[in-house]
Structure 1
Amino acid sequence: MLLSPAEKQYLYDSLSQSQIIRPDSRSNQQHRPLEATTSFLPGSNGSARIRLSDGSECIISIKSKVITYDQNTTPNLIDFDIDIIGYRDDSNYITNLKFQLLNLLQQNFPVDLLKLTSRYAFKLFIDCVIISHTSYPLGLISLGTYLALKTLKLPLLISNNDDTEVAELPTFSDDWDNARTLQEILDSQNSSDKFFQPPIFIIIGVVGNNLIFDPSVEEEQVLENGLIVSFYDGKVITPINNTNFAINSNNSNFKGLNKNLLIKSIALCNKFCPSIIKALDTLIEQEDDAERSVF
């Protein structure tokens, strides 16, 4: 929904004052209500469906394939594809989203968990379908990918994992109940003190001296800047990007980023992102198969 000049000015004034008033009454660091369900696609190794209160919705499906790789190079074991209605697959908008997500995962994913032998490994093909969206969808896709990766299951290898001398094709258990999550694979490698947590993106809007988490489509039209912050392993990591989220309107307020606000955004993410991760993990741990909500 595009705002009139008067509505934009009113909203900008509400968001830039010391005690901000957001249209949906959220606090600065509060996400929109979110509903999600996991492991609902029987043909996928991992899946998640996630919806926001404004009707934005996406489905993530992850499938695995056994490939060969060169021991002397770092294998590319993750592929990402995004489909958004109304956008060409080769458009700049889609290409930019894919690049950011793929770069985040490839740089911060424990690929050793996907290696089967010295010659073979699993490759993950992550497919995202955006059914509907109003605001910038990167955060929605990132949280959905987190849920899908956390519930991903890979078949159990029953053949010898040492094929340095004798070439042997990997053989897997036919019983899907023996399939293991990436956390279970990590535990089997005598790393019980470590936890598998995929990286996520946090979307932050800048208005004056205020930072607001997960801006809505109305708020995006009056932001002075937008931050995309990466969070992994309990802390903010690189890359941290800034962009204009209001792609469907001319945001005349857009301006440069104050470095002090960048430092503030890192501190806020280090403080509040663990709560977001905890909420997502709690959703996964729930035993019932009904649709569940977080935040």
Structure 2
Amino acid sequence: MFKIALSPAERSYLHESLSCSSPIRPDARLYKQFRPLEATCSFLPGSNGSARIRMADGAECLASVKAKVVSLQLNNADATQQLQNLIEVDLDINGIRDDSNLSSTIASSLKGSLVKHVPLDKLRLTHRYAFKLFIDIVVLSHSSVYPLTLLSLATYMALKSTKLPLLTSTVDDREIEEQPMFSDDWESSIALFGDSSLSPPLLFVVAVVNDNIFIDPSPEEESVSENGICLTYANGKIISPLQTISLSPKDNTGINAAQILKAHALVKEIGPLVTKSLDEIVSDDSVKTIF
């Protein structure tokens, strides 16, 4: 990650440009427009699903999903908690310590949203066994203070491309313990989100400058922003959590209701377009430049 060092005059000019009624972004994008990015999926042979996102500014993120058969604790009465533990997220951001507050906060936010929108019933194999998903995310390079949108896009594609082997043994092992057996034919594998009404969540970070909201803020825009908002989009609607984040070292001015409503409307508008573009890449199993 590199820091943008703007002079006081440059900061003032950029802030005024972004604050006006018809804001002018440094790269001439619209307020709801992403920077160009290149995306590909299913490129790691040793994983059940994988994706790579590369932004125009050189930021790059890899995400992989691996499934492992684990045994469930039959004496545990909280079956819901057991199923929630079937998702493990490991995050590595280049230049940031794994135990830093930023890494921990991002990983926690991502896992919390995934638990609610991954079809856990598909992970359950039998009464005694289930698949556990290990989601590994590596941010190789980034320019953003809070690269949550970048890794969320990669995680979305990795999960959408995830396939699980077909179970061929019995699903009823309550009385007789039996190890799960799977088909050797990968063509018969089942897509994790193939016929599910659920969809992986997408987390969008927007920058707030005066009364204007900007999607996918550049480092320059982050440095003059007054605040940031993280919104979660899944299955055609905005869901919890919605949280404020600091994108610049200066003191935040707080968030008002009008700014939250604008951010909500913006993400609700672009959410379907983003998911459609990513889904097309997953279905075609190709490399595309989108947005």
Q: What TM-score, normalized to structure 1?
A: 0.91
**1:4 paired residue number:** 7
Aligned-residue Cα RMSD (Å) equals 1.4
Q: Does 1:109 align with 2:118?
A: yes
Cα offset, 1:134, TM superposition: 0.4
How many residues in Structure 1 have an aligned counterpart in Structure 2?
Answer: 281
Cα offset, 1:251, TM superposition: 2.5
**1:88 paired residue number:** 97
**2:279 paired residue number:** 281
Cα offset, 1:196, TM superposition: 4.0
Letter in 2 for 1:55: G
Map 1:92-241; keep pairs closer than 5 Å: 92-135=101-144, 136-184=146-194, 187=195, 194-241=196-243
**Is the partner of 2:264 in helix, strand or coil?**
helix
Could you tell me which runs of 5 or more consecutive residues in structure 2 were left unpaired when the two chains were aligned.
none
Cα contact 1:139–1:201 (8 A) shared by 2 = yes
Cα offset, 1:85, TM superposition: 2.1
Deviation string, structure 1 residues 104-161 (Cα, Å, up to 9, x no partner): 1113322112111112111100111111000121000000000000000111100011
**1:30 paired residue number:** 33
**2:67 paired residue number:** 64
Cα contact 1:283–1:293 (8 A) shared by 2 = no
Q: Does 1:292 align with 2:291?
A: no
Cα offset, 1:195, TM superposition: 3.6
Q: Which 4+ residue blocks in structure 1 deviate beyond 4 angstroms? A: none
**1:245 paired residue number:** 247
Could you tell me which runs of 5 or more consecutive residues in structure 1 were left unpaired when the two chains were aligned.
188-193
**Is the partner of 2:54 in helix, strand or coil?**
strand
Alignment partners' CA distance in 2, 1:127 and 1:286: 23
Alignment partners' CA distance in 1, 2:246 and 2:31: 19
Alignment partners' CA distance in 1, 2:92 and 2:201: 21
**2:260 paired residue number:** 262
Cα contact 2:67–2:134 (8 A) shared by 1 = yes
Cα contact 1:81–1:127 (8 A) shared by 2 = yes
Of 44, 48, 53, the residue aligned with 2:47 is: 44
Letter in 2 for 1:220: E
Cα contact 2:117–2:198 (8 A) shared by 1 = no
Alignment partners' CA distance in 2, 1:3 and 1:113: 50
Letter in 2 for 1:147: M
Alignment partners' CA distance in 1, 2:122 and 2:243: 28
Alignment partners' CA distance in 2, 1:260 and 1:230: 18
Deviation string, structure 1 residues 159-196 (Cα, Å, up to 9, x no partner): 01121222211111122222221134xx4xxxxxx544
Letter in 1 for 2:68: K
Alignment partners' CA distance in 1, 2:99 and 2:270: 35
Cα contact 2:49–2:159 (8 A) shared by 1 = yes
Alignment partners' CA distance in 2, 1:134 and 1:152: 28
Q: What TM-score, normalized to structure 2?
A: 0.93
Alignment partners' CA distance in 2, 1:85 and 1:235: 32
Alignment partners' CA distance in 2, 1:36 and 1:141: 12
Alignment partners' CA distance in 2, 1:294 and 1:197: 20
Deviation string, structure 1 residues 200-250 (Cα, Å, up to 9, x no partner): 10111111111111101110001111000011111000000101123xxx3
**Is the partner of 1:238 in helix, strand or coil?**
strand
Deviation string, structure 1 residues 8-63 (Cα, Å, up to 9, x no partner): 11110000100000011110111111111100000111100101111100110111
Cα contact 2:119–2:192 (8 A) shared by 1 = no
Alignment partners' CA distance in 2, 1:88 and 1:272: 32
